[in-house]
A and B are shown apart, each in its own frame.
Chain A
Amino acid sequence: MLFNSLDFAIFLPIVFVLYWFTVNHNLRLQNLLIVAASYVFYGWWDWRFLGLILFSSLIDFAVGLGLSKQENPTKRKILLWTSIIVNLGFLGFFKYYNFFLDNFSAAFSLFGMELRAYSLNIILPVGISFYTFQTLSYSIDVYKRKLQPTKDFIAFSAFVSFFPQLVAGPIERATNLLPQFFNKRIFDYDKAVDGMRQILWGLFKKMVIADNCAVFANEIFNHSSDHSGSTLVLGAFFFTFQIYGDFSGYSDIAIGTSRLFGFDLMRNFNFPYFSRDIAEFWRRWHISLSTWFRDYLYIPLGGSQGSTWIKVRNTFIIFTVSGFWHGANWTFIFWGVLNAIYFLPLLLRNRNRANLETVAAGKILPNVKELTSMLATFSLTMIAWIFFRSDNLTHAFQYLGTIFSASLFSVQTLGNFTQAQNILLLIGIFVLVEWQGRNHQYAIQNFRDILFKPLRWSLYALIIFLIGMFMPSVESPFIYFQF
């Protein structure tokens, strides 16, 4: 079920009413309702893969119980590895089987050997990368004794399958989300209103910014050889806003929906395009994944402790794995490596934590240095997104080759440029709104401080109107569903 669909607009109020009016006196029933609603939500796409979520939940639940009773270090390790192998096994099979097969075949053929292997027509279960990482975090935290294992399977299933963040995150840590399923839920008016506001802003980002940018990004990337360098820059620019609007919009809707049910999810985006360097960008982009890798991969590898060589090695490992997490394609791996290369100078000069505060804090406008740093970081990010969006590495390098050619200075070659100009105007307004709200959890959170209710409501209604006037006619799925 898509957040931006009529189905969800009907589904959400039904679950909300049942949750707060029929099962509100019984915590277990509330959790059971969440599990049932989450399975309906997921099954709306393809019910056959519900078994996968259930199996994953059962394995990690059992591993947790096993770890609670086991003191023998070897047996504890075996239990942990069972969880890791099962979860990553599912992920590996559904997401990476064909990729490895094709690359092994290609590698063998380089040496003149023929590898007889059969690629499979595998459907990638939506959200598998998200919920497998979420359940893994539980097993690892229980193994490390950071978390007491739960004996309540309903609550644990609700944690694994919680519908607002099931298919595209934020990837929750068990230490944050799971205990919330054991707390009595009391309806909080301010929290619910804030949730609704965040949902509204998420829908605007997705339906107006991302989906309109997608029209032009797809046109330009899919026919990149027909366009001039200047048009390809425009294509990369549109994709840069498409992916931000799409993914952060999803996160806003997920977080807002959770708040309606009394849950607090972790923040996933913090105005990443206002970053002054790449390190800051990665502290602000897809925070739940970055911190997951930091906690469960980077730090166990030694993190930033040790020699320069160890730091560089760990940085490259974490960025490469992060790229590979996104998809079974060399483009994602290269995107990860490129970000590691961007990061390297900051790491070597110990400047990777230079920009921790919000840019231009307490000021209306940034100064020249801040503006230049932001534009430079944005440009580097935009170049990296070209690899992320391209079909393959050849496509990406051809795309970049055309940009860095004489045709960069030629006129743009986009057919419907007037419409593209409208979208650029909308992006301009969007950036201004995001800028004024950059000190908050999301851009329009500070609208709550407008005491004059008619003005506040008019602004919300205006956002609804802009969605109605500018959303593309066809619902489009969220990009991160494929990961």
Chain B
Amino acid sequence: MRKFISDILFFAVFAAGFYLALLMLWGAYVPARFKPNLSYIRGAYGHSYSRFAEAKSFGKVDVLILGSSHAYRGIDTRIFTEHGYRAFNLGSSSQTPIQTQMLLERYLELFNPKTVIYEVYPKTFALDGVESALDLVSNDKNDWNSLKMALSIHNIKVYNTLIYATVYDLLGLNSGFKEKNTKGTDTYVSGGYVEKELSFFQPVTFEAKEITFKNNQLQAFTEFVTLLKQKDIPLLLVFAPIPKVNYNSYTNMSFFDAQMNKFGGYINFNEVISLNDSLHFYDGHHLNQHGVEHFNILLLEHLNYQ
């Protein structure tokens, strides 16, 4: 029995080392099609790398913005600056409450914000969080909070990518990486915002859908709301405008509004602002720059009022 236990332990150590070595080689040399459970893309869509790099040295802010692409493509920090608010946008693609919690734990002290705006998009509460986790793991420095996030999501692709990214960083293989400010029609703006070249949405039909909540997402959401309360930082929950064709396809929006209202200050801007699906959006989800300006002015009015 003793030999069996010791063999198992030695093999566990051997297998861990073998796994790590092969993962690094596989990640570096094998074509992407043979890496279904490893997705390490530095400088991916959405300028996360530039955003997190800037976040580390940005300093204290008045307003910290978090959320999905509706946040970093919908809330322009330049407009906030014009109105006397120093703001930073920590939004990222498909960011779910699990990632928001991790980012707050990592950056809250650094930014020391007077107010936090959290953009709530219903779908993010029903996602597994894998897509956003891969984005953050690949484009930000990893720490214990990354591991905590990975355990919460419990997905092999996230585990593999986290191991790969951590070793990659430890070996200093990323030191020379620089992300272009403009990629395609997207331009990164200092403060975390991404501006899209002006274009207009051709409305399409959206299938009816229902809003649901995943338990682990709701738990993460509740925990970071509590954290902000404990730190006495006001939180404003914002449902950013989306095209009416998309918004009206939700069959239980009142349920979502009721849920959000339980957590404090919440504004559903789809019920407040009247925008045109073609003129103010560039796709079925995101505002174009005209729409952003309309929405941000109104958001600032609410912020001033609060």
Q: Could you say which residues of chain A place their CB within 8 Å of the CB of B22? A: 461-462, 465
Shortest Cβ distance from residue B58 to the other chain A in the assembled complex, whole angstroms: 34
Decide if A418 is an interface residue (CB 8 Å cutoff).
Answer: yes
Q: Contact: A422 with B15, CB < 8 Å?
A: no
Q: Within the complex, which residue of B1, B33, B36 is in contact with A187, where a contact is CB–CB below 8 Å?
A: B1
CB contact between B154 and one of A6, A20, A187 (< 8 Å): that residue? A6
- B18-36 with Cβ < 8 A to chain A: 18-19, 22-23, 26, 33-36
Q: Which residue of B lies closest to A470 (CB)?
A: B36
A469 touches B36 (CB 8 A): yes
Q: Which residues of B contact A465 (CB under 8 A)?
A: 18-19, 22-23, 26
Please report the C-alpha to C-alpha distance between residue A255 and residue B11 in the assembled complex, in whole angstroms: 21
Chain B residue nearest to A187 in the complex (CB): B1
A20, A419, A461, A462 pick with most chain B CB within 10 angstroms = A461
Residue among B1, B3, B23, B36 making CB contact with A422, cutoff 8 Å: B36
User: Taking the complex as formed, is A452 at the interface, i.e. its CB lies under 8 A from any CB of chain B?
Assistant: no
Contacts of A473 in B (CB 8 A): 37, 130, 155-157
- 8 A Cβ contacts from A428-483 to B: 457-458, 460-462, 464-465, 468-471, 473
Nearest Cβ in chain A — how far from B152, in angstroms?
A: 13
Contacts of A457 in B (CB 8 A): 11, 14-15, 18
**Measured CA separation A453–B145 after assembly (Å):** 38
- Cα distance A462–B34 when bound, in Å? 15
For residue A421, which residue of chain B has the nearest CB? B33
Q: Given the complex of chains A and B, what is the CA–CA distance between A174 and B246 in angstroms? A: 61
A contacts with B, residue count (CB < 8 A): 22
Across-interface contacts of A422 in B (CB, < 8 A) = 33-34, 36
**What's the nearest-Cβ distance from chain A to residue B165, in Å?**
16
Alpha-carbon distance A141/B8, docked complex (angstroms): 40
State how many residues of chain B have any CB contact under 8 Å with chain A: 25
User: B11 touching A469 by the CB < 8 A rule?
Assistant: no
Q: Which residues of B have CB within 8 Å of A299?
A: none
Contact of B160 with A by CB under 8 A: yes
Which of A419, A460, A465: most chain B Cβ within 10 A?
A: A465
B36 touches A419 (CB 8 A): yes
**Does residue B102 face the partner (Cβ distance < 8 Å to A)?**
no
List A contacts of B154 (CB < 8 A).
6
Please give, as numbers and ranges, the residues of chain B lying within 8 Å of A196 by CB-CB distance. Answer: 8
Is B7 in contact with A193, judged by CB distance below 8 angstroms?
yes
Of A189, A192, A461, A470, the residue contacting B37 (CB under 8 A) is: A470
* B14 partner, pick from A6, A187, A461, A469, beta carbons under 8 A: A461
B4 within 8 A of A: yes
Q: How far is the CB of A6 from chain B (nearest CB, A)?
A: 7
Across the two chains, which residue of chain B brings its CB closest to A13? B8
Q: Are B19 and A468 in contact, CB atoms less than 8 angstroms apart? A: yes
Asked whether A469 lies within 8 Å of B1 as measured between CB atoms, the reply is no
**Nearest A residue (CB) for B158:** A473
A1 to B151, CA, bound (A): 20
Q: B75 at interface (Cβ–Cβ under 8 A)?
A: no
* Least CB distance, B189 to chain A, in whole angstroms: 34
Q: Is the CB of A468 within 8 A of B37?
A: yes
Complex: how many Å from CA A20 to CA B8?
Answer: 15
Is B18's CB under 8 angstroms from A458's CB?
yes
Alpha-carbon separation in the docked complex, A193 to B4 (Å): 8
A419 to B33, Cβ gap below 8 A?
A: yes
B4-A187 in contact (CB<8A): yes
Q: Does B299 contact A (CB under 8 A)?
A: no
Residues of A with C-beta under 8 A to B156: 468, 471, 473
Complex Cα gap A473–B130 (Å): 10
Contact with A along B149-174 (1 / 0, CB 8 A): 00000111100100000000000000
Q: A187-B1, A187-B4, A189-B3 are in contact. Are A471 and B37 (CB under 8 A)?
A: yes
- Chain A residues within an 8 Å CB radius of B130: 473
Q: Which residue of B has the minimal Cβ distance to A473?
A: B155
Measured between beta carbons, the chain B residues less than 8 angstroms from A20 are 1
Tell me the minimal C-beta distance from B216 to chain A in angstroms: 14
Give the residue among B3, B14, B35 with the most A Cβ atoms within 10 A.
Answer: B14
Docked CA distance A468–B36 (Å): 10
**Residue-wise interface mask of A (211-249) relative to B, using a CB-CB cutoff of 8 A (1 in contact, 0 not):** 000000000000000000000000000000000000000
Residues of A within 8 Å of B14, CB to CB, are 457, 461
Residues of B near any A CB (own CB < 8 A) = 1, 3-4, 7-8, 11, 14-15, 18-19, 22-23, 26, 33-38, 130, 154-157, 160
Ranked 5 nearest A-B pairs via Cβ: A461-B18, A461-B15, A187-B1, A465-B22, A473-B155
What are 17 A-B contacts defined by CB distance under 8 Å? A20-B1, A187-B1, A189-B3, A196-B8, A419-B33, A422-B33, A422-B34, A457-B11, A457-B15, A460-B15, A465-B18, A468-B19, A469-B23, A469-B37, A470-B36, A473-B156, A473-B157
